[in-house]
């Protein structure tokens, strides 16, 4: 299993491509999958982790709960396979950019089992409470 950590910031180019940080590239040399994730980010999964995640959604989708089916439909429809070129770039389809509110600058973070792509505004809003937890030494 790959472990992804760290934070980077890159700009989308005119063709809607993003540069993957060098330290993440080996895990995606055979491509990966983009998918919407909770909190308003877009996740980049290795093939193996994407299949594991898809299996989880399939289990939810096969239940009788309609909300689970709708979530799995949205997730599958909004997901896409990506290839990383020799310069480390990969294209973000327009629907993916819209879902993630990814326009010019993109925060790229390692989130242990996958990579997340965030708009700077959404990322700041989401991590503020978490950073307070670590900076203030709170225990829960």
Residue 102: is its pLDDT beyond 80?
A: yes
Instruction: Provide the CA 43 distance to its chain's centre, in angstroms.
Output: 1
Distance CA 114, CA 122 (A): 18
Residue 137: is its pLDDT beyond 80?
A: no
Long-range contacts of 124-133 (CB under 8 A, 24+ apart): 126/39, 126/40
User: What's the average model confidence in pLDDT over 91-111?
Assistant: 97
| Chain segment 6-25, per-residue pLDDT in tens | 999 999 999 999 999 999 99
- Burial per residue of 104-128, b for 16 or more beta-carbon CB atoms within 10 angstroms, e otherwise: eebbbbbeebbbbbbbeebbeeebe
CA–CA distance from 122 to each of 36, 39, 59, 110, 119 (Å)?
14, 8, 30, 16, 5
- The owner of tokens 């399939």 is 58
**Contact (CB, 8 A) for 44 and 32:** yes
Phi first, then psi: what are they for 85, rounded to 5°? Answer: -80, 180
The pLDDT-based confidence of 35 (bands split at 50, 70, 90) is very high
Q: Which residue has the higher pLDDT, 138 or 1?
A: 1
Residue 95: is its pLDDT beyond 80?
A: yes
Q: Domain 7-135 - what CATH class?
A: alpha beta
The pLDDT-based confidence of 64 (bands split at 50, 70, 90) is low
- At residue 133, the pLDDT reads 79
The pTM assigned to this predicted structure is 0.91
- At residue 66, the pLDDT reads 78
The pLDDT-based confidence of 110 (bands split at 50, 70, 90) is very high
Q: What is the mean pLDDT of the chain?
A: 92
């Amino acid at each position: 299993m790959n472990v992804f950590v760290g934070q980077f910031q890159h700009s989308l180019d005119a063709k809607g491509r993003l540069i993957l940080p060098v330290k993440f590239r080996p895990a995606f040399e055979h491509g990966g999958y983009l998918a919407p994730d909770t909190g308003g980010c877009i996740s980049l999964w290795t093939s193996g982790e994407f299949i594991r995640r898809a299996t989880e959604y399939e289990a939810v989708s096969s239940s009788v709960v309609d909300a689970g089916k709708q979530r799995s439909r949205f997730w599958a429809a909004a997901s896409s396979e990506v290839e990383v070129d020799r310069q480390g770039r990969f294209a973000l389809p327009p629907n993916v950019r819209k879902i993630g509110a990814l326009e010019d600058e993109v925060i790229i973070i390692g989130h242990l089992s996958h990579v997340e792509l965030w708009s700077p505004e959404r990322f700041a809003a989401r991590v503020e409470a978490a950073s307070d937890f670590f900076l203030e030494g709170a225990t829960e």
